[in-house]
């Protein structure tokens, strides 16, 4: 979870909320920006074994575009 947003485990979280007798822990993540959180999500999802080739390409492209945005933002801040 980052900024009260679930980054991974949406289905698990919904199941656990329906079954209140199951104990669970939510891990709070620290990121400096939304883009860094998005890069983490892409990397985490790319580690899954059951990705389709199309989904894998999408995630790689999304990560690339987000990393490019971060780089451009950092260059503007240092200029």
Report in angstroms the alpha-carbon separations of 70 from 19, 22, 62, 75.
Answer: 40, 39, 12, 9
DSSP assignment, residue 47? T
Give the pLDDT mean for 24-45.
93
Which token pair is 44?
Answer: 């985490």
Q: Residue 18: enclosing H or E segment and its boundaries? A: helix 10-18
- Model confidence band, residue 20 (pLDDT cutoffs 50, 70, 90): confident
Longest dimension (CA), the chain: 54
Q: 36-62, pLDDT tens digit by residue? A: 999 999 999 999 999 999 999 999 999
């Amino acid at each position: 979870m980052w900024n009260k947003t679930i980054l991974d485990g949406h289905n698990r979280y919904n199941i656990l909320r329906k079954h209140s007798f199951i104990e669970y822990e939510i891990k709070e993540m620290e990121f400096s920006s939304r883009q860094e959180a998005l890069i983490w999500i892409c990397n985490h999802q790319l580690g899954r074994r059951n990705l389709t080739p199309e989904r894998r390409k999408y995630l790689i492209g999304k990560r690339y575009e987000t990393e490019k945005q971060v780089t451009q933002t950092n260059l503007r801040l240092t200029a």
